[in-house]
Structure formats: C-alpha cells, structure tokens
Amino acid sequence: MNDESSKPQEETTASAERTIITKKAAVKVPKRVIEQRKERPKFVRQESWRYKRLDEVWRRPRGKDSRMRLQKSGAPPLVKVGYRGDKDFRGLHPSGFKEVLVSRPEDLEGIDPSRQAIRIAANVGRLKKVRIAEAARERGIKVLNPPPQFKEGEE
C-alpha cells in the first residue's frame, strides 16, 4: 500500500516540472508611456543627413545662425526636458523588466528574476546563446531575445 501512495506523488511532481512558468512583469508599464515613447521624435545631429562623415548621434547645435538652434520651422526638433519619460518607467523594457545585456552564462549570477530580464548580446554565437538560454530557464530568468529553439510557443 505504501508503493501505491508514493506513485501519485511522483506523478504530480513530474507534471509540475512540465508546466510552463510564466514570469509576471516587475512593473506594469502603462500604455500611455509606451505611446509617448513611440511619439517621441528621433533626435538627429544637425545636417547629419547632408554629410556622410557626420553620424546621426545627437549633438547640440551651437552655430550662430543655426536654424536648428533657433528652432525655425522645418528644422529637426531639439532635445528638451519635456520629452523625458516618467521616472518610474524610465529605462524599462515594455514588458516591465529592466534589461541586462549578457554575453556569457557566468553573467547570469547577479540577476534578479523578479525585476530584471536578459538580452543576449548580438556578437554571441549560436551554441553559447543556447547555453545562456538554458541557464536562464533553469534560474527562471526571462530572455528578451531567445534563440529559435527557445521561443515561447514551442515549449
């Protein structure tokens, strides 16, 4: 009779291992914040569209007669404090987690799964991506860009 009572317990633990654990977001990012992010213009360096040698990385216009500095119509917008997002949601991924860039499995050690999610670096190879994703799954960490084998629909 002891053998029969132990079997159902083993089955329940086995089925519990198969269930997919869905991570709840650390913070619920409101839709209005996501809309604000989409509406925020792309700030470009003055005349970066004109010269190949200039990157689009933001630099403040300082010219004496600069149309951009004077904020004339037709000129790209300047960076201003009014475009800044809410402090509570600044720097968060739309899922509500704070992104942490990871390039090797050892980088997962200091990550808090309740508040942080990982993004695997682009220069990491396929095999190491799989190792990182496996280690993250074991620790219950959300992966924002999982390799194809680890997409949520296929689990």
pLDDT at 91: 87
Predicted confidence (pLDDT) per residue in 60-84, tens digit: 999 999 999 999 999 999 999 999 9
Instruction: Locate 70 and state its tokens.
Output: 């004077």
Q: What is the DSSP string of 10-77?
A: HHHHHHHHHSPPPPPPSS---HHHHHHHHHS-----TTTTT-TTS-SS------TT-TTTTT-TTSPP
Cβ-proximal residues to 73 (8 Å cutoff; 6+ apart), any chain: none
Side-chain-side CA neighbours of 77 within 13 Å: the count stands at 10
The tens digit of pLDDT for each residue in 6-34 reads 444 444 444 444 445 555 667 888 999 99
Say which residue the tokens 């009572």 belong to: 5
* pLDDT tens string 90-131: 989 999 999 999 999 999 999 999 999 999 999 999 999 999
Report residue 44 as tokens: 């470009």
